Amino acid sequence: MEKLRIRPIAVYLPQFHPIPENDIWWGKGFTEWTNVAKAKPLFRNHYQPHLPGELGYYDLRVPEVREAQAQMAQEAGIYGFCYYHYWFNGKRLLNRPIDDVLITGKPDFPFCFCWANESWSRRWLGQEVDILIRQTYSDEDYLNHINWLIPVFSDPRYIKINGRPVFIIYRAFGLPEPGKLVEIFKSRCLQEGIPEPYLIASAGPNDLRKSGFDALWNFEPQLSVLPYFLYDKKHYKKLIGNLRLGILSSKLKAYSYSEAKERMNRINLLYPYYPCSFVNWDNSPRRGENGIIIRNSNPDIFKTYLLSAIEKFMTMDFSGEENLIFINAWNEWAEGNHLEPDLKNGFGYLNALKEVVKKVNYG
């Protein structure tokens, strides 16, 4: 097999099917499509709603949908999916599509897991307010977690680096003892006779490689670098009418894609990291007039910044096998952040990605 210079991985949200918990929290039959379909423009030239194109309002319990997604991704040069994995002290949520993928062996498409390590709340931004289900930690739970993961790591489709299964932990800096998780995960795999996992932590205030993680992940978008990205009463007078910063009201914020990317690129990480370029962002389908919106993304500008991120990555201290490039996201529709075709851009973002991959891997 030809050696690839990069392996693009698309972050994948397995949300699009009803579950009992969401029925209780949000109403019977709720899925992300509920928010997507009801979204409305909040100002002139605001692109909402995002209407799905090729795949329509799909249900991820349908195997033909998952097959079509994998085929579409593969044709665009995507190497595999990074499925969000929801684990709360042994309780899994939104697991039906992933379980079907594991049980049936289809689609025959590479994948890895990202543990979405945060509590769920009604605020949709990871804030500890109106908690629906809380993330908790213990050595016992780390052991139960890795015991569940070990058969998954043995799946022949699971993405590996030098034979080691890749496992990502979102907000790993929030773990009370990150080194303890690393120790339990790696030692348990070796006890079972499989290679220890290649553990990636999302970048934070500390270099978690010192706790035993193998690498860091510069997850995007980093909304915290945007001016006044969260409403603050102290800045109320500054917020009102401050159109230069894109502040449309005391709550609704809008920024240009170029401005947002430039601010995120100025984050000075003092260690090598895997890049994670975002497609777009608009969480107003979830948050309405409390939304944070990044405007004026298009396939060409996405392609420019993605290529720049890859070129920078290739200067970092990684081996040839450590060649993962992440794109956020495949299908975060309620955040306006999707490679999947919509009625406005069609296959534009996928074609842009395909051009980048072709240039880097085969140019």
For residue 233, with 0-12 CB atoms within 10 Å meaning exposed, 13-18 middle and 19 or more buried, which class applies? exposed
What tens digit of pLDDT does each residue of 20-62 get? 999 999 999 999 999 999 999 998 889 999 999 999 999 999 9
CA–CA–CA angle 296, 299, 301 (5° rounding) = 60
Place of tokens 């991959």: 357
Answer for the pair 214, 271: CB distance below 8 angstroms, yes or no: no
Question: Which pTM does this prediction carry?
Answer: 0.93
- Checking if the pLDDT of 237 tops 50, the result is no
CA distance 214 to 209: 6
Q: Where are the domains of the chain?
A: 7-225+255-362
What tens digit of pLDDT does each residue of 320-352 get? 999 999 999 999 999 999 999 999 999 999 999
- Checking if the pLDDT of 198 tops 50, the result is yes
CATH number of 7-225+255-362: 3.20.20.80
Answer for the pair 167, 217: CB distance below 8 angstroms, yes or no: no
What tens digit of pLDDT does each residue of 124-173 get? 554 556 899 999 999 999 999 999 999 999 999 999 999 999 999 999 99
What tens digit of pLDDT does each residue of 238-290 get? 443 444 444 455 578 889 999 999 999 988 788 899 999 999 999 999 999 88
The predicted model gives 73-77 an average pLDDT of 98
Proportion of the chain above pLDDT 90, given as a percent = 82
Residue 150, Cβ neighbours under 10 Å: how many?
17
When the pLDDT of each residue in the chain is averaged and rounded to a whole number, the result is 91
Extract the tokens encoding 190. Answer: 């070796």
The predicted model gives 189-197 an average pLDDT of 97
